[in-house]
Amino acid sequence: MGGTDLRERIAELVSEATAGEVGADAVLAGGSLVALGVDSLGLLRLVDAIESEYGVEIELNSSGRSVDTLDDLASLVTVAGAEQGATGQPG
């Protein structure tokens, strides 16, 4: 899946995780997910959806990486997928 497709799909997942309160277009426009209105429950739902859809594990607290923007999330999915592909094990 290309970078643009990945970003678009994650933006859709953000919208789904927030029950439509945060639109995919707003996410694609950039900026902080928190500033857009994604709360902690929405973020947990989003992580579950991403893990389920992409077969990756995302560790929000131990990764040492920020997850406050669409690009942050896309990067985490890409890195987690690469790590799991290289080892055959979840990241």
pLDDT in tens, the chain (91 residues): 456 799 999 999 999 999 999 999 999 999 999 999 999 999 999 999 999 999 988 877 655 666 789 998 998 899 888 877 665 554 4
Distances (CA, A) of 35 to 11, 15, 31, 75, 91: 15, 14, 7, 20, 29
State residue 22's pLDDT score: 96
Q: Which of 1, 21, 23 is nearest to 12 (CA)?
A: 23
Residue 74 has a CB neighbour count (10 Å cut-off) of 19
Where along the chain do its domains lie?
3-87
The pair of three-digit structure tokens given for residue 89, joined into one six-digit string: 């094990």
CATH of domain 3-87: 1.10.1200.10
State residue 74's pLDDT score: 92
33 in Cβ contact with 43 (< 8 Å): yes
85 Rama class: left (phi>0) / alpha (psi -120 to 50) / beta: alpha
From first CA to last CA, the distance across the chain in angstroms is 19
State residue 91's pLDDT score: 44
State residue 69's pLDDT score: 92
